[in-house]
Structure 1
Amino acid sequence: MLTPTGCYLSTTGLWNVVLAILTRLRPGPRVRAGMSVRKHEALGYLRELLERDGLRIVIDRQYRLDEIVEAHRYVETGHKRGNVVVTVCAST
């Protein structure tokens, strides 16, 4: 969801180029199409890491969405040692 003056920057997809043109013709949020960075080499490397269990994902802390302010404060301290996860909706 975007604010009335928000902008969605896409790096892939031909349809997003069409949306970029259409959203320029009316007021409100805009879609902008950007150039995609060549990802094939990086994706190949990630695949290789995953296949040999060489990718270690580190989760430093987890926060609920209603704790987003605390999550941002923690990240801004510069002391995080891994990813900070924000759970958008919890299963009940």
Structure 2
Amino acid sequence: MLATVNAPFKRDISAAILHQCIARAEISEWPVHVAAFFTDVSPRLVFGFAALHGISKSELAEAYVVVKTKTGEHNPDLESELVPLAASAR
């Protein structure tokens, strides 16, 4: 499941807050943390977290696009699956 991401930040993000950020595609208070989730965590675990928390692939894709747009961070391994889903969700 979700443990510590390689992120030496002053505050920790909980699984519940991460879930809310992704489900709502709203990262305003947690951009670096959510970006680290999408870029530092393996795609298998990203999809596993989403499935475990009832986040659809289209919601995951939308949140990923928000992160990429706001932070410039990206993950090519996720992108090929997620970006087409985000485009069709709009």
For this structure pair, what is the TM-score category when the shorter chain's length is used for normalisation? under 0.3
Calculate the TM-score normalised by the size of structure 2: 0.24
Calculate the TM-score normalised by the size of structure 1: 0.23
Q: Which has the higher helix share?
A: 2
* Larger Rg computed on CA atoms: 1
